[in-house]
Copies of this chain bind each other. A is one copy, B any other.
Amino acid sequence: MAEKRRSPCTMSLKAHAFSVEALIGAEKKRKLEGDSQDCFEEVNEVSNPNESPQHRADRTSASERGSENECTSDGSHECEDQLPESPRPSSLSAASLIPSQRDSGATEEIRVDLQGSDLWKRFHEIGTEMIITKAGSNRRMFPAMRVKITGLDPHQQYYIAMDIIPVDNKRYRYVYHSSKWMVAGNADSPVPPRVYIHPDSPASGETWMRQVISFDKLKLTNNELDDQGHIILHSMHKYQPRVHIIRKECGEDLSPVKSVPVGEGVKAFSFPETVFTTVTAYQNQQITRLKIDRNPFAKGFRDSGRNRMGLEALVESYAFWRPSLRTLTFEDIPGIAKPGSPGSPAILQTAGNAVSSTHTHLLSSSPCSSPAFHLGANSSQLCSLGPAEYTACSRSGLALNRYGNTLAETYSRLANPASDTFTAPRTPSYAGVSGASVSMPGSDGDAFSCPQTGLPLQIPGMPSPQLQYIMPSPPGNAFSANQGHHGTYNSFRLHSPYGLYGYNFSTSPRLAASPEKIASSQGSFLGSSPSGTMTDRQMLSPMEGVHILGSGQQNLFDSRTLGSLTSTSSQIPAHMV
């Protein structure tokens, strides 16, 4: 077997310049603002002073309302709300007709659950940048948006779509010496509207809920004359992706080149940590490093092989004690899956073009992202990576607080492999409400329990709210705010060996059908969707006479998009409007 590996250390000059001393030096400049405790979640700030969500004045706010869901089931495997409120039609037809392992009631609220929110938050804390290019090789987003939805009417047909809206009407530039994004003027003229309609659309609620819905095929461009349906954005602007759930009857006006229609059956969700700045070349080298470290397609730019030696180990070692050099986490260790992740509230917006006037942001602090955790869980691996992203610069006008799990808590969770599903504790959040501070519920200590749920207070017609960072409640704290956010986390399977973001690294396809294999070829239920997901035909009939996945396995491997298994997720119940 000829090992065709390229020699390590073929890093480019530029990358080298950044990787070691440069990084250490750069780190020192920004240090000491909450990143000193390796074993705790220490992310208290965001590095981009201008990223607070603001309304575009030229968009109309749609009315929004929120109510609260509460879920108090302790130790349950999944937290599913069963609220009586049900503005949706029908769905009384017997669930037994549908061969689904879930029979989530038809009366739930719709929840949209961001998968991989850990990674998103790590980017967000640095200041996410997304490359946009002219035609030809238009770029995907990395990370890609991946969501899980619950609370749909299983029999209702829906379109799922994504658009990307401006966060404000500013143009930005990156100031290298301060590593910050600064306002550089007003936004450029609007671009043609584009909507990425998920390729599985339309499909039944049952189908959508059975899978992780990935938007990884979505591509961005700065070519306003783009003729390939990619999403057109301006460079050096801030944007917010939104997920739209559109009942089929209400989707008659849905078009890839029109704004998402407004209406009763249309709901929009956004996740504050997915805000990004468009660039044609990366500005912040920390973003570059994190992308390289996490995007499998950029593996060629990594400066480390699987078994790092010599200088690199030294660097890693250093990074362990001085966080923020590398971005690897336990997700990079095959076979060690992340036992839960911070939650991120989806901000429900009524359909239409309005940006929600209230953006609620969560700040990282995954209990599993600390280097110490790595060593504890897998001491034979070098897990030095300091969360560079957790080092952040302070934001003027924002009150910050920190919050973290103890290492003991974190480790004890991972050390209990008996539970293949549990809900992770909520994580610190910051919520922006126009002029008002909102308190956040928290219940971090109760591993394997489902914390109370809450909903963001949606204040319509508030075009330019001030952003307030909210201090989360201490562990065990009960949900207490009518306008706070909750985070409930489920779907994580401790036994899953697939913890890497969005990609399957199984090396032997025959040892076991990997979830992706099962997923992307014909779907878990033997559907036939090359895009990795299925349309609603799969609910037509149960699998018969074929051993493919027992209910347990199916439960284990229930995601079917490319992104596949959930290693982290953030979830929020959203209200029908």
Contacts and interface: CB of A to CB of B under 8 A. Distances in A.
A258 interface: yes
Nearest to A522: B229
B521 A199 contact: no
A34 interface: no
A10 interface: no
Contacts of A518: 227-228
B544 A255 contact: yes
Interface stretch (A288-296, A388-396, A530-538): A530-538
Contact of A255 (B192, B254, B529, B543): B543
Copies per complex of this chain: 2
Contact of A257 (B230, B256, B544): B544
Interface string A513-530: 100011001110111111
A201 B529 CA distance: 9
Contacts of A198: 528
Interface size class, chain A = 35 or more
B217 A540 contact: no
A163 to B, nearest CB: 12
Interface in A235-262: 251-258
Given A136-B509, A137-B509, A540 B228 contact: no
A544 B258 contact: yes
B528 A227 contact: no
Nearest to A137: B509
Contacts of A226: 546
Contacts of A228: 513, 517-518, 521-522, 526, 548
Interface of A: 134-137, 159, 192, 194, 196-202, 217-219, 225-230, 251-258, 509-510, 513, 517-518, 521-523, 525-532, 535-538, 540-549
Given A227-B526, A227-B549, A228-B513, 20 more contacts: A197-B527, A199-B535, A200-B535, A201-B535, A201-B537, A225-B547, A227-B518, A227-B546, A229-B526, A229-B527, A229-B528, A230-B521, A252-B540, A252-B541, A255-B542, A255-B544, A256-B526, A256-B528, A257-B541, A257-B546
19 contacts: A135-B509, A135-B513, A136-B510, A199-B535, A227-B518, A227-B546, A227-B547, A227-B549, A228-B526, A228-B548, A253-B540, A254-B537, A255-B541, A256-B527, A256-B543, A257-B541, A257-B546, A530-B532, A535-B535
